Amino acid sequence: MLEKWNQFVFDLCEAKKRDVDEDAYHSLIETQLQLLGWAKYKGEICHKTNIPIGNSKFIQPDILVKLDDDYQFVIEVKRPVHSQTERERVQLESYMRQLKLDVGIYIGEHLEVFYDKPKSRDAISVLRVPLEIDSKQGAKFVERFSKENFSKDAIVEFCEQRIKEIDRQANLNKIKESIVADAQTQISESLRPYLMEKYGSSFSEDEIRAMLSTMLFTASITNGHHQQPEVKPAPAIAVQAEKNGVVKCWLTRNADAVGEFNLSDMSLTVLKGSKVNPLHLDKLSDGNKKKRDHQLAEYTETLNGERIVKEDVRFDSPSGAAMFCVGGSANGWTEWKDDAGRGINAYRKKPADGNHSRPSARPFTDLEKVQLDFWTRFQNKLIATGKVPSERTPVGRAWFDVGIGRSGIFLSNLCYIQKDFVSVRVYIRNNVYEKYYLKLAARQQEINQALGCEPVWNPNPSAKDKTIALQRPTDFSDPQQVEEALDWMVEKTIIFREVFGKEVRDIND
C-alpha cells in the first residue's frame, strides 16, 4: 500500500511545489482518484454536481465519489498551499450531513479524513496525512479508500478504531505531561532510597534530602528514539540559501557564469553580465544547436570579443542553464557550484527514498496520455517556429510552463480537457506580486493593445498568485479542433512571451 500511496501523492507534491491554482489541483485530484480504482467514465467521480436541497436550494460539493448509484464520500478541495480554516471544516461537515455521509475528506496543503460520529456535535478528524512520499498514514488512507477495499461499514469501523487510538494516545500524553510537571519531586523521591542504601552509613537521611533539594532535575518529551549523535550545522552558505530561497552559484567550464538557483521550483537564472561560450561543442545535436542559436541571439551580446548575457535569463532546470552557458550537454547539478565549491545537487529536493523520478513506473491514465500527447505536439510546433526555446520536458499534466526570462513570472498554459478549453496564461507568483502584477495592471490598456486581444486579468481574485489568461473552447474529441487549438496556443504563446517579456524587462530596467 505504501507504493500505491507514493503513486497517488507524487503529482500532488509536484503541484504543491508549483503552487498551482485550485482548478488545476481539483483536476489533478480527480485524476489521482483513478489510481485508486474509481472510474470517472462510469460516473464514479462526480465533478461539482448540483445536489438539490429543499424546494429551491442546492449544494455543489467539489468532488463526490459514487458506487452503484450511491454516494460514498465527499471531498473538499483547496489549493495545495492553502492553510485550512474552521470554515472549510464546517463546509465539509455540512456536505456530509446534508448527504447523510459518514466520511468526508479535505485535500489542500495536506489530506485529512473526517468522520461524523453519531451523536457527536462536530465531525471528528480521524486521519491527517502530510503530502509526502513514504507516509505510513498515507498507506492507511489508500488501503481504506481504494475502490477494491471500500465499504461504508469498513470505513465506519476504521474511523471508530482510529478514535479509540487517538483517545488512548491523548491519555498517554496527559500522563507524560504530568510526569514532566512533577519531574523534580518524582526523580528526587526515586533517588532517595538508592542514595540511602549506598551512602546511608556515612550520611543521615536529612543530609541526603538536603543534598537532593539543591539539585534541579528536569524531564522532557522526546520522539521515543535514542538520542542521535550531534549533527554539526551546515556551512553558512546553506543556511543563508534556505533563508533567502536562492543559492548563488558559479559555472566556469567553457564559461564564466553566475547564477541563482531557486529552491522552491528548482529553476536556475543565469545573471546579467555572465560570459558564455560563443561556440557550440561538437556533440551538441542539431535541434539543440538551433535552440541555442536562438538563445544566444536573444539573450546575449558581443562585447570586446566575448559573448555577454545582457539580461537575467531563467531556465526551468540547472542543466538547461548549463547547456546555454557551456555550449553542449552538461549536468547542471554538478557543473554549477556554490560558494563552498559544492555542486548544487546538495540543495536538490529529494523524496525520502532519494529517487528524483516518479516513485514507480506506473501506466499513464487515459487523461495523462491525452495531455502528454497535446503538450508534446505543442512543444514541437513551438520549437519549429524558431522563436521560443522550450527547456521543459512535456508530461501528462494540465499545465505546461514557458519561461519569459524572469524568476517568479512565466507562462503557465492550460490544457483543461475536463472543461473543454485551452488557455494561454501569464502566471505571477505572490512573492513578485508588487514588483510585476501591479505595474503590469497599470498598463493593462497598452498591453491589451499590443497583444491584439483582451485576456482576463486576475480571474481568481482570492488567489495569492495572479494570472492573466486568454481562453479558447476546444472539443478534445475532435482532431480538427485540437489541431486548431494547438496552432492558436503556439501563436498566442509567442505573442504573450514577446509582449510580457518586454514589459518585465522594462520594469527591471
Helix (H), strand (E), coil (C) string for 6-55: HHHHHHHHHHHHHCCCHHHHHHHHHHHHHHHCCCCCCCCEEECCCEEECC
Cell of 163: 478514535
* CA angle in degrees (0–180, nearest 5) for 447-449-453: 95
Label the pairing between strands 103-107 and 70-77. Answer: parallel
Label the pairing between strands 103-107 and 110-115. Answer: antiparallel
157 bridge partner residues: none
Nearest-angstrom CA–CA distance, 317 and 296: 18
For the chain, 509 residues long, give each residue's pLDDT as a single digit of tens. Answer: 889 999 998 999 888 888 788 889 999 999 999 999 999 899 999 998 888 876 667 888 999 999 888 999 999 999 887 778 777 888 898 899 888 999 999 999 899 999 998 878 888 899 999 999 988 899 999 999 999 988 889 999 999 998 888 888 878 877 766 666 566 566 767 777 878 877 877 778 777 777 776 666 655 555 544 443 333 333 343 444 454 678 888 988 888 899 999 887 788 999 999 999 998 887 788 888 888 998 999 899 988 888 999 988 998 889 899 999 999 888 888 889 887 677 888 887 644 444 443 333 334 456 777 888 888 888 888 888 888 765 567 777 788 888 888 888 989 899 888 778 899 999 998 888 888 888 999 999 999 999 999 999 988 777 778 899 999 999 888 888 889 999 999 999 999 999 999 998 888 75
Closest C-alpha among 414, 420, 418, 419 to residue 402: 414
Q: What is the DSSP string of 408-450?
A: TEEEEEEEEGGGTEEEEEEEE-GGGIIIIIHHHHHTHHHHHHH
Q: Give the global pTM.
A: 0.41
422 bridge partner residues: 415, 472
Write out the E strands in 131-245: none
Q: What is the DSSP string of 98-119?
A: HTT-SEEEEESSEEEEEE--TT
Closest C-alpha among 227, 193, 229, 192 to residue 209: 192
Contact predicate 424/492, CB 8 Å: yes
